[in-house]
Copies of this chain bind each other. A is one copy, B any other.
Amino acid sequence: MDEIVEAEGHLIDSQLLNAMFDTVVRHDAAFEVLEFRIGRTNDEPSFVSMRVTSPDQAGLTGVLEELVGLGCRVAGGEDAHVTPADRDGCAPEDFYSTTNHRTSVRLGGEWLPVERQRMDGVIVIEGGRAVCRKLREIRAGDAIVCGIHGVKIVPEFQERDRLGFAFMSNEISSERRVEVGVARIADMMRAARKAGDRIAFVAGPVVVHTGGGAYFCDLIRGGYVDVLLAGNALAVHDVEQALYGTSLGVDMESGRAIEGGHRHHMRAINAIYRAGGLRPAVEKGVLTSGVMYECIRRNVDYVLAGSIRDDGPLPDTVMNLVEAQDRYTAALQGVKLVLVLSTMLHGIGVGNMLPAWVRLVCVDINPAVVTKLADRGSSQTIGIVTDVGLFLRQLASALHEGQV
């Protein structure tokens, strides 16, 4: 069994051609390059056409499914196959599962760009448009793209850009000079703000424990935070520090542990409950400083998603996670730059929602967390292994210098 596939673009720079060859061999299939035109300079694209051969149809389908994910399209000009869903929440068995890369589907001979691109979704055709949807959002009768014909993705080709983003994304190590990364990120943030692009932060409570809260407040006041996506813990520790000067029972000034620090924690929650929530607490003068205070004052779009480990939670925390995922997704519309600070859970959640071309910066002191967050098949992700409190201090300082 064989099929001819084609691809074009920066196939060598982005290591796609290598990935395609690897994929074929890994599936115990074979390839024969029919045509290859190399870009002669850094700016020219390359083109490849190759015949893929596999002993049986199942094997061929398997390898072709992977090749499509790498940017190959089946040659020959067939339209995408579309099958109606037979019931709510379920796709046909051979549904096309989306990646986070820019995708088009061929319908009536035309290539139609897919909207609301995200990974692990299905493509639904409605009213002449192609839209990404989650499995649970499928309704019976929805026209679902199935198989691999007439589907084309365009991976983000690794840019060799002036900000050096791509070159920074190669390696994750704690043995790097963080000041260089901070300067680049400050440049990107200033450029985003100038262009009117939205910037989102995804932040864990370690931001507060490590003393980064005050610097994060600087960023909010400077207008660099359009969206804050977090969990209950960030808000509770922030409130605890605002009300009692402690975080996790550690005095933030002296560094002394306070054995019964949990009492502060629970009293902070109780105080917000008594006020009726974070916003009322700000309005009533109960909460007068901290990250949540600044967010509310500056109308930052924030969503606190619940988790199984939450104390309380605060009235603001969304404990229904279907709703929380939907609100995260909504808040991320129009965002072009995301910084994930010390939260694997919410960082992975956000990473799953983003198209590949949104820039993602992951900062954590644990290299394994950074590696995991950065592993989303996108060259638009960089990881920085450092102390998040000191990182925020440097970032606030770099943005301040640049503002003059």
Contacts and interface: CB of A to CB of B under 8 A. Distances in A.
A294 interface: no
A12, A23, A31, A366: most-surrounded residue (chain B CB, <10 A): A12
A391 B390 CA distance: 8
A334 interface: no
Contacts of A324: 308
A335 B87 CA distance: 40
A313 B269 CA distance: 30
B348 A328 contact: no
Given A41-B32, A66-B259, A319-B320, A178 B390 contact: yes
B345 A308 contact: yes
A380 interface: no
A280 interface: no
Contact of A309 (B179, B348, B386, B393): B348
A325 B368 CA distance: 28
Nearest to A100: B262
A387 interface: yes
Interface stretch (A125-133, A163-171, A188-196, A219-227): A163-171
A83 interface: no
Interface stretch (A73-81, A109-117, A249-257): A249-257
A84 interface: no
Contacts of A184: 255
A352 B309 contact: yes
Contacts of A322: 319
A305 B308 CA distance: 7
Contact of A70 (B209, B231, B259, B394): B259
Interface string A244-270: 000010101111111110110111011
Interface string A93-135: 1010101000000000000000000011000000000000001
Contact of A33 (B40, B270, B271): B40
A149 to B, nearest CB: 16
Interface stretch (A1-9, A13-21, A354-362): A13-21
A42 interface: yes
Interface of A: 12-15, 17-19, 21-26, 30-33, 36, 38-42, 65-66, 69-70, 87, 89-91, 93, 95, 97, 99, 119-120, 135-136, 160, 164, 167-168, 170-171, 173-181, 184, 206, 209-211, 231, 248, 250, 252-260, 262-263, 265-267, 269-271, 273-274, 305-313, 319-322, 324-325, 328, 345-346, 348-349, 352, 365-368, 371, 385-387, 389-391, 393-394
30 contacts: A12-B12, A18-B18, A21-B42, A23-B259, A25-B42, A33-B38, A33-B41, A36-B36, A65-B260, A70-B259, A93-B267, A93-B270, A99-B262, A120-B266, A135-B273, A135-B312, A164-B254, A175-B206, A177-B210, A178-B387, A307-B307, A309-B345, A309-B348, A310-B321, A310-B325, A365-B387, A366-B366, A366-B368, A367-B367, A393-B394
